[in-house]
Amino acid sequence: MLKRTALSLMMIGMTIPAFAQDRTWRNDVKPIVEAKCIECHGAQALEYNEWELLGDAKEKVAPRMDTYPHFMSYVVWPATGAMMRRLDDGKTSGKPGNMYQYLGDNDTDRAKNFQTIKGWLGEGAWNLNRWQERKGVPGITKEQLDKIQAKY
């Protein structure tokens, strides 16, 4: 009896999809970034703060986002919400972010990688707000920031 319970628990465990909090930068997000982003956003790319100084030339070069702290600076601060605005699939706004296309070679791939990153950030953490209010869009709130899990 005990044996059977243990076995069915094991089987249930195998069919439950990974929860957001189980996803990590190391196992789930870094491989996506390495495969899809670092060709432009790798270690050779400018630091975000240097890139910010470029003005109009920012259009042509990509800032660095290949490590966990680099990546998180486009989630939390100073580039609050940039990751979410650029990677958004457009399902809510009607228009995908301009980096969404790089998430995969086809729709299925892109949707899968999008869900992985979104799920990893945490339930309710996919917010497009900037640090400060802009054009009527309110700045991010502490409550929204509190949703971020993004395990290393």
Q: Which spans of this chain sit near ligand HEC (rule: CB under 6 A)?
A: 36-37, 39-41, 58-59, 61-63, 74, 79, 82-83, 86-87, 98-99, 102-103
CA distance 146 to 110: 27
Q: How far is the CB of 135 from ligand HEC (least distance, A)?
A: 16
Looking at the Cβ atoms of 62 and 148, the one nearer to ligand HEC is 62
Kindly calculate the radius of gyration of the chain based on its CA atoms and give it in whole angstroms: 18
Q: Give the dihedral of Cα atoms 137, 142, 152, 53; nearest 10 deg.
A: 50
Please, which residue, 58 or 95, has the CB nearer to ligand HEC?
Answer: 58
28: Cβ contacts below 8 Å, ≥ 6 apart: 116, 120
Cα dihedral sign, 102-87-91-19: positive
The answer to whether 103 touches 130, Cβ cutoff 8 Å, is no
Smallest gap from Cβ 143 to ligand HEC, in A, equals: 23
Q: How far is the CB of 32 from ligand HEC (least distance, A)?
A: 7
d(CA 101, CA 105): 8
Of residues 51 and 145, the one with the C-beta less far from ligand HEC: 51
Question: Rounded to the nearest whole angstrom, what is the least distance from the CB of residue 23 to ligand HEC in the complex?
Answer: 16
Nearest approach in angstroms of CB 43 to ligand HEC is: 14
Q: Which is nearer to ligand HEC, 39 or 50 (CB)?
A: 39
In the complex with ligand HEC, which residue's Cβ is closer, 8 or 27?
Answer: 27
| Residue type for position 9 | L
